[in-house]
Amino acid sequence: MALTTGTSQALLDAQLELWHTTFAYVKSMALKCALNLRIADAIQLHGGGATLPQIIAKVTLHPSKIPCLRRLMHVLSVTGIFSIQQPADDGGEQVYGLTPVSQLLVGSSNLTPFMTLVLDSLVVSPFLDLGAWFQRELPGPSLFEMKHGQSMWDFINQNSAFCALVDGGMVSDSSFIMDIVIKERGDVFQGISSLVDVAGGLGGAAQAIAKAFPHVNCSVLDLPQVIASAPAITNVKYTAGDMFESIPSANAVFLKWVLHDWGDAECVKILKNCKKSIPPRDAGGKIIILDMVVGGGKSNLKHQETQALFDVHMMIMNGVERDEQGWKKIIFEAGFSDYKIMPILGVRSIIELYP
Ligand SMILES: C[S@@+](CC[C@H](N)C(=O)[O-])C[C@H]1O[C@@H](n2cnc3c(N)ncnc32)[C@H](O)[C@@H]1O
């Protein structure tokens, strides 16, 4: 079919779509730059609204790049990270403000560490080889291993700076989402006297649960190199171990952003170990999972697109975002009798499993 079939407008609209997707990474890189330069903090320091000279006074950049910063702010504003208020008079300066999006990048429990992890060059660079990865047989090396010569877990184990980046990113996500979980569905923790957060990292989620439900005996299981950096706090107990070997006993097991890291066979192994560590259903035993159920929640385009992007992103470590069928497969294969999906966390869900 000749390229010129169709109206000129239809062709230009199609080209626009193509350009929009092709250049989408520039949007991510502009955000990464804003995080590096701490632009949101600079605006926050000015009470939530700042002109370019006021931002420049607070960030480190070479004076020759000032006009470039204006262009970067343009991208960040048209894409909704910051707002722009036009000057009242001709000679005035535009005022950049925080939007609900950039408000998530400032303050005490902000999401900057998680975004910094996802946009780190160690995480971004493997995706340049996605096409080559598709030509190799599974299981084979993950995208991360193809690029960096080691699985992500081995790399984390041997690189303390990257380990800190991962753990910090996870803690920031946990503080954010657990506030919402506790507010919206705190009932999932009712009636539990003990809970183990399996592969709980530095315990961001366990700490939030322990704070909201002081009667719940909370503990975290993670690998020794992670537990070595655990905070010294009294209301959460930290245990070094391997979830593929055994899991400490508790009323309930919590698994946040763990199963999407693994293929089905590994998930079944983890879930079987979880099942061994909890009492039967009539004694209150259950597994609480916080992860994505593709197709769950709202059905708008941004929601669907974000879930699809997350799924491909998990190829970095041969992980997967599962739809309900995918979840059902591993849940029943691990011997659970029933499950309940609560799609109340935006693109993520809470899933309860009953023995
Ligand atoms: C994506 S992070 C999730 C951390 C935490 N659940 C959260 O959402 O904040 C995955 C965690 O799995 C842990 N992990 C990986 N292999 C493990 C194993 N064999 N046993 C226990 N934890 C493991 C990692 O150290 C890491 O903390």
Phi-psi region of 223 (alpha: psi -120 to 50; beta: other; left: phi over 0): beta
> What pLDDT sits at residue 90?
78
Does 91 share its domain with 137? Answer: no
Residue that terminates a domain, selected from 74, 90, 105: 105
Exposure string for 344-355, b = 16+ CB within 10 A, e = fewer: ebebbbbbbbbb
Compute the average pLDDT of residues 321-348.
Answer: 97
**Closest protein CA for atom 15 of ligand 1:** 199
Compute the average pLDDT of residues 138-166.
Answer: 94
1 occurs within a structural domain = no
Q: What percent of the chain has pLDDT over 90?
A: 92
pLDDT band at 138 (very low <50, low <70, confident <90, very high): confident
**Nearest atom within ligand 1 for CA of residue 221:** 21
Does 119 share its domain with 153? Answer: yes
> What pLDDT sits at residue 346?
95
- Reading the block at residue 4, the tokens are 């010129």
Length of the chain as a residue count: 355
Q: pLDDT tens-digit profile of 59-96?
A: 999 999 999 999 999 999 999 999 999 888 878 899 99
Does 65 share its domain with 140? Answer: no
Q: pLDDT tens-digit profile of 226-282?
A: 999 999 888 999 999 999 999 999 999 999 999 999 999 999 999 999 999 999 999
> What pLDDT sits at residue 236?
96
> What pLDDT sits at residue 178?
97
> What pLDDT sits at residue 10?
95
Over 80: is that where the pLDDT of 4 sits? no
Contact status, residue 97 vs residue 114, Cβ threshold 8 Å: no
| Protein residues whose CB sits closer than 6 Å to any atom of ligand 1 | 153, 170, 173-174, 199-201, 204-205, 221-223, 226, 242-244, 256-258, 261
Number of domains in the chain: 2
Q: Which of 272, 287, 252 is nearest to 330 (CA)?
A: 272
3 occurs within a structural domain = no
Stated as kind and residue range, the H or E segment containing 206 is helix 204-212
287 occurs within a structural domain = yes
CA atoms of 80 and 99, how far apart (whole Å) = 7
Q: Which of 101, 104, 90, 81 is nearest to 31 (CA)?
A: 81
Enumerate the active-site residues: 260
Instruction: Tell me the best of 154, 170, 173, 345 to mutate to test the pocket of ligand 1, counting ligand atoms within 8 Å of each CB and taking the most.
Output: 170
194 occurs within a structural domain = yes
CA atoms of 353 and 281, how far apart (whole Å) = 9
CA atoms of 322 and 251, how far apart (whole Å) = 26
Cα dihedral sign, 156-134-304-24 = positive
> What pLDDT sits at residue 3?
59
> What pLDDT sits at residue 2?
57
Instruction: Tell me the best of 258, 273, 292 to mutate to test the pocket of ligand 1, counting ligand atoms within 8 Å of each CB and taking the most.
Output: 258
Does 55 share its domain with 136? Answer: no
Contact status, residue 295 vs residue 326, Cβ threshold 8 Å: no
Q: pLDDT tens-digit profile of 208-226?
A: 999 999 999 999 999 998 9
> What pLDDT sits at residue 142?
96
Q: What percent of the chain has pLDDT over 70?
A: 99
**Closest protein CA for atom 11 of ligand 1:** 199
- Maximum Cα interatomic distance, the chain, rounded to a whole number of Å: 72
Does 136 share its domain with 269? Answer: yes
**Closest protein CA for atom 9 of ligand 1:** 170
> What pLDDT sits at residue 89?
81
- Which domain CATH number covers 191? 3.40.50.150
Residue that terminates a domain, selected from 82, 105, 128: 105
pLDDT band at 1 (very low <50, low <70, confident <90, very high): low
- Reading the block at residue 236, the tokens are 């959460």
Q: Which of 312, 343, 315, 316 is nearest to 327 (CA)?
A: 343
Contacts of 173 (CB under 8 A, 6+ apart): 111, 114, 204, 257
Residue ranges of the alpha helices (H) in 79-159? Answer: 112-118, 121-124, 130-134, 143-148, 152-158
Residue 121, burial from CB neighbour count under 10 angstroms (0-12, 13-18, 19+): exposed
For residue 177, the tally of other CB atoms under 10 A from its CB is 20
Contact status, residue 167 vs residue 226, Cβ threshold 8 Å: yes
Q: What is the pTM of this model?
A: 0.95
Instruction: Tell me the best of 166, 222, 290 to mutate to test the pocket of ligand 1, counting ligand atoms within 8 Å of each CB and taking the most.
Output: 222
Does 33 share its domain with 133? Answer: no
Does 125 share its domain with 274? Answer: yes
CA atoms of 239 and 87, how far apart (whole Å) = 57
Does 61 share its domain with 197? Answer: no
Residue that terminates a domain, selected from 78, 105, 132: 105
Contacts 24+ apart (CB under 8 A), 313-316: 313/118, 314/260, 314/261, 315/130, 315/133, 315/142, 315/143, 316/123, 316/126, 316/127, 316/142, 316/143, 316/144, 316/152
Q: Residue written as tokens 């303390």?
A: 160
CA atoms of 351 and 341, how far apart (whole Å) = 4
290 occurs within a structural domain = yes
Does 244 share its domain with 295? Answer: yes
Does 333 share its domain with 197? Answer: yes
Give the range of the structural domain holding residue 245, as residue numbers without chain letter: 112-354
Does 125 share its domain with 93? Answer: no
Does 218 share its domain with 75? Answer: no
Cα dihedral sign, 327-333-334-335 = positive
CA atoms of 26 and 74, how far apart (whole Å) = 13
Mean pLDDT of the chain: 95
2 occurs within a structural domain = no
Cα dihedral sign, 288-244-172-238 = positive
> What pLDDT sits at residue 6?
78
- Which domain CATH number covers 67? 1.10.10.10
313 occurs within a structural domain = yes
208 occurs within a structural domain = yes
